[in-house]
């Protein structure tokens, strides 16, 4: 997810060049956290839920970005403007990364529909929040500035 920046002639060219060279990536870390009940990686588990591959679709990455894209553009614009005056290096994207990571985790905690099946509720011993079982998936949400 490379941020799109509207190049305003009032912005410092050096700042724009710096931001154009950076990419913010938000996703799931590879490790499975030592789980023994599956050999699947976090990205594999996440993609099954994100796209509904064999399970009901419960998008947490795409839907968060779609819902908050305008907000993220505003945040990046404000941070980029401040960078010219106060912030250095990749701090604008680091700050945006923290925000997106928190939003994705909050989306998961919101109990994304559809409701869990009776079989899943029984397996989870009554815990009725989708996508949170061992907390491994939610804890693997991370960002990186490249």
Residues 75-86: tens digit of each pLDDT: 888 877 766 566
Q: Using an 8 Å Cβ cutoff, are 108 and 60 in contact?
A: yes
pLDDT at 143 exceeding the cut of 50: yes
pLDDT at 11 exceeding the cut of 50: no
Specify if 54 maps to a domain. Answer: yes
Residue % of the chain over a pLDDT of 90: 40
Specify if 62 maps to a domain. Answer: yes
Specify if 76 maps to a domain. Answer: yes
Q: In which band, very low, low, confident or very high, does the pLDDT at 108 lie, cut at 50, 70 and 90?
A: very high
pLDDT at 103 exceeding the cut of 60: yes
Alpha-carbon distance 80 to 87, whole Å? 8
Q: Give me the domain span that covers residue 52.
A: 13-30+39-145
Specify if 101 maps to a domain. Answer: yes
Q: In which band, very low, low, confident or very high, does the pLDDT at 4 lie, cut at 50, 70 and 90?
A: low
Q: Using an 8 Å Cβ cutoff, are 140 and 42 in contact?
A: yes
Residues 37-64: tens digit of each pLDDT: 777 888 998 999 999 999 999 999 999 9
Q: Which of 63, 67, 61, 71 is nearest to 28 (CA)?
A: 61
Specify if 132 maps to a domain. Answer: yes
Residues 130-142: tens digit of each pLDDT: 898 888 889 999 9
Specify if 4 maps to a domain. Answer: no
- Whole-model pTM: value is 0.78
Q: Using an 8 Å Cβ cutoff, are 127 and 144 in contact?
A: no
pLDDT at 14 exceeding the cut of 60: no
Specify if 120 maps to a domain. Answer: yes
Domain count across the chain? 1
| Per-position DSSP letters for 59-127, written without gaps between them | -SSHHHHHHHHHHHHHHHHHHHHHHHHT--TTHHHHHHHHHHHHHHHHHHHT-PSSPPPHHHHHHTTT-
Alpha-carbon distance 107 to 100, whole Å? 10
Specify if 5 maps to a domain. Answer: no
pLDDT at residue 7, rounded to an integer: 46
pLDDT at residue 9, rounded to an integer: 46
Q: Using an 8 Å Cβ cutoff, are 50 and 61 in contact?
A: yes
């Amino acid at each position: 997810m490379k941020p799109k920046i509207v190049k305003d002639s009032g912005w410092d060219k050096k700042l724009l060049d710096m931001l154009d060279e950076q990419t913010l990536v938000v996703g799931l870390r590879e490790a499975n956290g030592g789980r023994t009940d599956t050999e699947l990686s976090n990205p594999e588990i996440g993609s099954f839920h994100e796209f509904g591959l064999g399970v009901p679709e419960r998008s947490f990455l795409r839907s968060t970005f779609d819902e908050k894209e305008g907000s993220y553009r505003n945040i990046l614009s404000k941070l980029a403007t401040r960078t010219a005056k106060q912030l250095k290096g990749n701090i604008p994207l680091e700050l945006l990364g923290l925000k997106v990571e928190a939003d994705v985790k909050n989306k998961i905690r919101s109990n994304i529909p559809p409701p869990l099946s009776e079989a899943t509720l029984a397996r989870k011993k009554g815990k009725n929040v989708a996508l949170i079982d061992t907390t491994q998936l939610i804890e693997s949400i991370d960002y990186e500035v490249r």
